Amino acid sequence: MNLFPPTEEQRAAVDSFRKFLQAEIKPIAREYRDRFLPKEKMTEIQQMIAEFGFFGTTVPTQYGGLGLSFLTKAMLFEEIVAVSCDIGLCAMINAGTAEFMVTNAPAHLRDRYLPGLLAGTVFGCFGISEPDVGSNVADIKTRGVRDGDHFVINGEKTWITNGVYSDFIICTTRTSDKGLSHILIDRREHGYEARNIEKIGMNSQSTAQVFITDARVPATNVIGGEGEGLRNTMKVFEKARAHVGMLSVGLMRASLEESIAYAKERKQFGKVIASHQLIAEKLAEMATLADASRLMCLRAFALIDAGIRCEVESSMAKWFATESAVKVCRDAVQLHGGNGLTKEFQVERLLREAIVIPIPDGTTEIQKLLISRQLTGFSSFV
């Protein structure tokens, strides 16, 4: 039984979105396999996705969005990722910055950036991680020094999704000895440099180092209140982790689809490998892990829609889905035999992408520390 049966409207929206993605976006994703999608091409793609209203799925209609639920957005999001994890991650961050603007930004920033984000023409990014600051977000070094009605910001961010594409960065900045604040730095107006980082997989989108040198930014660009950066980052993580879980669900689905097709084609010992029991077991496990992960993510989204805090459910969904994807995508390679290791087939790419996902937005280890702290009241972080 599906605990989250889609409504007729959701089913219709997902069906037409899937048809569009399979017909229009999948060929581009295949063409750019392991190659960087330049900004013009990624903008074209994001604009096509924007025509379906994806970036504003949960944005209230008064601000130009569709005013729908996170559950609906998650169902649409899975369709993007099943076609391309790279394009999915880029879209996830653009939609995430749009939602962050609506929830936290002063009106002048929201009105300036939101229309472009919803239209797929403006790219945002979140700058939290730094060369010496990964899991321990509270230790951020990037500094904003008050100078009249401006902050002068200096620091280096790393692993920033959309960094090279970005028009602005929501930069988690130390604005006093104790306090962190989110400050929007506009690339053209205030200036920062971005440089891509080559990884094991997911190199069609931008993961970047960002260098901020003496960026002079008005104090009115603080988002969510001065000193509120850590608290608001934790809220961002709650939603982001469920989305990252869905990235993995999309990867598992793609691996499973490739594996079912291959198992029904490939013959050994005089019959298709789908009819060998150990292959049948593998497929059943892959499908079950994908489905369990999907349900855990959708539960987190349902809680978010209900306005109920769900750090634990979101952390559980994130670690379970991302680690399941590593197993499922590895099983897909195994099921393909030697062919699975080659570029002729999609599964080697899917495995390399799956390996990336347990790291962003808090590693598997960090999710488990968060869950166990909630269970026992004891912190095992230090």
Burial of 45 (0-12, 13-18, 19+ CB in 10 A): buried
CB of 379 to ligand FAD, least distance (A): 9
Stretch that binds ligand FAD, among 188-196, 260-268, 314-322, 353-361 (CB under 6 A): 353-361
Q: How many CB atoms sit inside 10 A of residue 359's CB?
A: 15
Task: Rule CB under 6 A: say whether 365 interacts with ligand FAD.
Answer: yes
Distances in Å between the alpha carbon of 10 and those of 100, 178, 296?
24, 45, 19
CB of 2 to ligand FAD, least distance (A): 30
Measured from the CB atom, is 172 or 293 closer to ligand FAD?
Answer: 172
Structural tokens at position 292: 């369990």
From candidates 160, 164, 210, 244, binder to ligand FAD by CB under 6 A: 160
From candidates 56, 116, 124, 362, binder to ligand FAD by CB under 6 A: 362
d(Cα 167, Cα 194) in Å, to the nearest integer?
A: 11
Task: Rule CB under 6 A: say whether 123 interacts with ligand FAD.
Answer: no
Task: Rule CB under 6 A: say whether 319 interacts with ligand FAD.
Answer: no
CB of 362 to ligand FAD, least distance (A): 6
From candidates 135, 213, 220, 268, binder to ligand FAD by CB under 6 A: 135
Contact between 342 and 268 under an 8 Å Cβ cutoff? The reply is no
Q: Is 346 helix (H, G, I), strand (E, B) or coil?
A: coil
Task: Rule CB under 6 A: say whether 159 interacts with ligand FAD.
Answer: yes
Task: Rule CB under 6 A: say whether 116 interacts with ligand FAD.
Answer: no
Give bridge partners of residue 216 from the DSSP assignment: 152
Measured from the CB atom, is 302 or 350 closer to ligand FAD?
Answer: 350
Task: Rule CB under 6 A: say whether 128 interacts with ligand FAD.
Answer: yes
Distances in Å between the alpha carbon of 177 and those of 131, 144, 181, 226?
20, 11, 11, 12
| 361, containing H or E segment | none
Could you give the angle at the alpha carbon of 230 between the alpha carbons of 371 and 228, nearest 5°?
135
Task: Rule CB under 6 A: say whether 48 interacts with ligand FAD.
Answer: no
Give the interface size with ligand FAD as a residue count (CB under 6 A): 21
From candidates 17, 77, 100, 126, binder to ligand FAD by CB under 6 A: 126
Task: Rule CB under 6 A: say whether 366 interacts with ligand FAD.
Answer: yes
From candidates 76, 356, 367, 370, binder to ligand FAD by CB under 6 A: 356
Task: Rule CB under 6 A: say whether 233 interacts with ligand FAD.
Answer: no
> 129 — alpha (psi -120 to 50), left (phi > 0) or beta?
beta
Task: Rule CB under 6 A: say whether 161 interacts with ligand FAD.
Answer: yes
d(Cα 209, Cα 193) in Å, to the nearest integer?
A: 8
From candidates 127, 155, 224, 340, binder to ligand FAD by CB under 6 A: 127
CB of 363 to ligand FAD, least distance (A): 3
Residues 193-222 that bind ligand FAD (CB under 6 A): 207
**Packed helices 70-83 and 85-104: angle between N→C axes, nearest 10 degrees:** 150
Total number of residues shown for the chain: 382
From candidates 69, 129, 175, 324, binder to ligand FAD by CB under 6 A: 129
d(Cα 294, Cα 153) in Å, to the nearest integer?
A: 40
DSSP class per residue in 193-206: EEEE---SS--SS-
Stretch that binds ligand FAD, among 8-16, 69-77, 229-237, 357-365 (CB under 6 A): 357-365
Task: Rule CB under 6 A: say whether 134 interacts with ligand FAD.
Answer: yes
Task: Rule CB under 6 A: say whether 250 interacts with ligand FAD.
Answer: no
Measured from the CB atom, is 151 or 165 closer to ligand FAD?
Answer: 165
Task: Rule CB under 6 A: say whether 237 interacts with ligand FAD.
Answer: no
DSSP class per residue in 117-170: HHHT---EEEE--BTTBSS-GGG---EEEEETTEEEEEEEEEEEETTTT-SEEE
| Chain residues that interact with ligand FAD, rule: CB under 6 A | 125-129, 134-135, 159-161, 207, 356, 359-363, 365-366, 369, 381
